[in-house]
Amino acid sequence: MLKILRRQLTDRKFRAEEQDLLKNIEGLIEACEESIYELQTRVEKFKESSGDGLQAAARTATRQLAYPFKQSTLRKLDADIDEIVSHLSLALQVLQAKDICNVQNDTEDAKALLNLVRADQISSTIHEWLKSPDATINYNEAYKKKHPGTGLWFVKGSSFSAWLVKPKSFLWLNGFAGCGKSVLCSTAIQYALRHRRSNPRIGIAFFFFTFNDNSKQDASAMLRALVLQLSSQLNDNYGLLSRLHDSYRNATPPDQALVDCLHQLVRAFEHVYIILDALDESPRNKYRGAMLQALVDIWAWSEPGFHLLVTSRDETDIREVLREELYASSDEVVSIKNDSVDSDIASYVSGYLKGSRKLRRWEKYHDQIEKALIERADGVFRWVECQFMALESRSGSKRQLDVLLASLPRSLDKTYERMLLNIDEESVEDVRRILTLLCCAKRPLTVLELIDGVAVELGDDPQLNLDGRLLGKDEICRVCPGLIEVDAQLDDETATVRIAHFSVQEYLESRRIVDSKAATFSVRRPEAHTEIACICLTYLLEPALSMSRYPKREYPLALYAAQTWHEHLRDGGENTHYAKQQALRLFQNTGGEFENWVTIWNVDNSHGVKLCGRVPSPVYYASLLGLDLVLSKLLYENLSGAACSGLTVSEVSGLVNAQGGDYRNALQAASLRDHEKIVQLLLERNAGANAQGGGREARAVEGS
């Protein structure tokens, strides 16, 4: 019984605050074992016989006759055991009560979070209009990675405690890649929720900037998420949000309008706690400047009940704004590089070794593994996680384990280089394509979308090769171990695939990989976008797609390709001639490909609403998207065809001024989208500068 109890204690993951109780229980077990052993020894002596014969029998009889004189000793041992068992039972009851309490607390936290920010009471009309990103997805992902007891140094420390109670408080939690900032952020959210139990007039909102999801990278996304979350916590039936909707019914509200709405929401509470994770995952040269300016504008409010906590790496532009414009003092900056993090890592390593089935084969050497990982981790949880993946995939002798531990990579870069170099040779091109797609996709891709993206063959004869489709998410994980993550609980149709960690994508896009042996896997964004544009266009030009009755179902990448090919082409830089030739083929519509594309996704409408009636001309769509090369070719072909057909000048002008689309004609579409080069091309081909716009507000284009 005691052996079973000891084994359960060994396998159980204990929280940091339970360590004293654990030591007490283990001490009681040892004392109980010692008393039982002593009692057993005395019983054996009492029973044992020294041999045969009259002399031995006499000695045994003498011991048995002396039993009454030893009874007090045995009773004392028996009483000792009873007392120890009583203490042990009490300690186990305390431990069980703690377990129940911890489970209840975690369950209550999860329910509180969902009830707080799910915004079910807000109408679907406003949900669809605001398009607020769901931050609870990122919260759940981060919280799943939390090991019991880790992060308590932060949420129970003086800095976080002061942040909870000080008027207009600020806190910046910073650390390098892979040190566990997002997990700490999820813990901070959990403890802020617990703090809210004392006062329902407290509002809580949070947002996770996400490197692999374009919808969670800019100031607008952050503000929309915060506004929706706080609106759902008010009892006034989200009146502020309704008024914002009335003011911008047909468009996304500008950032300043969202900031103003957020300010009004903050004033409706006694206290508001806003927690923002990973500011550094907002792209520096694209969205970060506007995002940081939004933080400056927010911090300018004179609201004593406003509390802001942010996490990021310590990058120059972020540091300058937080210190110089949000006036962050040294007391308001917490670095994750400290002894407490090392303790968290030690706890994580110990718990992982006890809980991993795959590492049970190395059970005799757990102490050796634990020592090696803790000594080399240098505060980086992600590094430890990668080494565990390598250990779990290895089998063999103690000698091989020794070699692996002796050759642990020095850094995350070296870890990723080793992972890439270990990929099977026949899978290298598939993995390179997978990583390229995931790094540069405009939104997270589903398993089926990614599989078809890999199956597209480029080159002299680009085509979709159905035989090149990988066999599901398990195969994707097999060829890219440790580099990607897949939603395990969902099917291939709905599960999304993503780069496992920001540090993976950063390495793939860095100069460092170019100078390494893993340079084959380097991702250069302009070239990558061009490649993805070609993949999408090849897919849309696939003859079988045009003939399919259910294109979105039978060809999973069709919707993504239809939505985004022109965005990837735009981001492709200068070397896009081949992709533009493919785009021209699409617009020439020789096999119905053009009409099929605009039927799958109406790019003329922000919601992709299906076209009713006649499809607008290719000239209109080329003008709408700013495809100057495509438009030039189309106009040349139209004019050449007109000359051969004997069309008049007015009839040729009719081709350029054809009515159709949300903007009614090509010139209005180009003008409202600020495509100056396109406007000039159209005017040179007698487009009517005074042509009337239709469904959208037009502006004059005279003098363009």
pLDDT of residue 28: 60
C-alpha distances out from residue 520 to 378, 403, 421, 423, Å:
29, 27, 10, 12
Q: Which of 42-51, 310-319, 386-395, 616-625 has the highest mean pLDDT?
A: 310-319
Alpha helix (H) residue ranges in 48-66: 54-65
Residue 352's identity, in one-letter code, is Y
CB-based contacts of 311, cutoff 8 Å, min separation 6: 172, 173, 174, 175, 181, 182, 184, 185, 276, 277, 278, 279
206 pLDDT more than 60: yes
pLDDT digits (tens, 9 = 90+) for 424-435: 999 999 999 999
Of the two residues 364 and 612, the one the predictor is more confident about is 364
Task: Out of 141-145, 228-232, 548-552, pick the least confident.
Answer: 548-552
Question: Residue 53 burial (CB < 10 Å; 0-12/13-18/19+)?
Answer: exposed
Cβ burial 203-222 (10 Å sphere, 16+ → b, else e): bbbbbbbbbbbbbbbbbbbb
- Tokens representing residue 260 in the block: 């103003």
Residue with tokens 């590492």: 359
pLDDT digits (tens, 9 = 90+) for 16-51: 555 666 566 666 666 665 666 665 665 555 555 555
Residues 88/200, Cβ–Cβ less than 8 Å? no
Cβ burial 327-355 (10 Å sphere, 16+ → b, else e): ebeeebbbebeeebbebbbebbbbbbbbe
Residues 373/384, Cβ–Cβ less than 8 Å? yes
Residue in 270, 247, 272, 273 with CA at minimum distance from that of residue 258: 247
Count of Cβ atoms closer than 10 Å to residue 427 Cβ = 15
pLDDT of residue 103: 44
38 vs 49: CA distance, rounded Å: 19
pLDDT of residue 372: 95
Residues 458/531, Cβ–Cβ less than 8 Å? yes
Q: What is the spatial order of strands in the sheet that 271-277 belongs to?
A: 202-208, 271-277, 306-312, 169-174, 333-335
pLDDT digits (tens, 9 = 90+) for 88-136: 565 555 555 554 445 445 556 655 665 666 666 678 888 889 999 999 9
pLDDT of residue 122: 78
Residues 221/255, Cβ–Cβ less than 8 Å? no
Q: pTM for the full model?
A: 0.78
Residue with tokens 């915060």: 226
Residue in 450, 454, 448, 460 with CA at minimum distance from that of residue 433: 454
Residue in 409, 406, 386, 374 with CA at minimum distance from that of residue 503: 386
pLDDT digits (tens, 9 = 90+) for 358-405: 998 888 999 999 999 999 999 899 999 999 999 988 877 888 899 999
690 pLDDT more than 70: no
Residues 412/210, Cβ–Cβ less than 8 Å? no
pLDDT of residue 89: 62
702 pLDDT more than 70: no
Give the Cα-Cα-Cα angle 247, 252, 257 (nearest 5 degrees).
55
Q: Residues for the chain: how many in total? A: 704
CATH tag, 118-336 = 3.40.50.300
696 vs 704: CA distance, rounded Å: 19
DSSP 285: I
Confidence of residue 704 (pLDDT cuts 50, 70, 90): very low
DSSP 396: S
The DSSP result for 164-187, as a single string, is HHSTTEEEEEE--TTS-HHHHHHH
468 pLDDT more than 50: yes
Count of Cβ atoms closer than 10 Å to residue 418 Cβ = 17
655 pLDDT more than 80: no
Confidence of residue 663 (pLDDT cuts 50, 70, 90): confident
